[in-house]
Amino acid sequence: MPTRLLELAIAWFSAAQIEPLHRLLDVVAAGLSQGDDHVHHAAAVSFVEDTGWWEPEMQPFIATWPAELAHELAPTSRRGLDANS
């Protein structure tokens, strides 16, 4: 189930509200790179993993992500692909 932040980010992306979207993504990315273990885990699980990265329609949204979020997605997508093999 997507979090409110993820739902808001997707809504802003869909409405082409780029400035607030980038600010929100920067905050989530900061949680990954600067937060303690609990914050990192919360951002990784409730934002990155719940994005629906495997859905083709999510790829344009994911392409807007800062490097920290994209980096977190790489191991997630590999795990998902390995599980489907």
Range of the domain at 51: 4-14+27-80
Q: Where is average pLDDT lowest: 18-22, 51-55, 60-64, 75-79?
A: 75-79
pTM over 0.85: no
Domain contains 22: no
**Which residue in the block uniquely carries the two structure tokens 């809504």?**
11
Q: What angle do CA 13, 75, 52 make, to 5 degrees?
A: 35
Q: What's the burial of 69, exposed, middle or buried (CB within 10 Å: 0-12/13-18/19+)? A: buried
Based on the structure, what is the number of domains in the chain? Answer: 1
Domain contains 70: yes
Say whether pLDDT at 58 is over 90: yes
Domain contains 43: yes
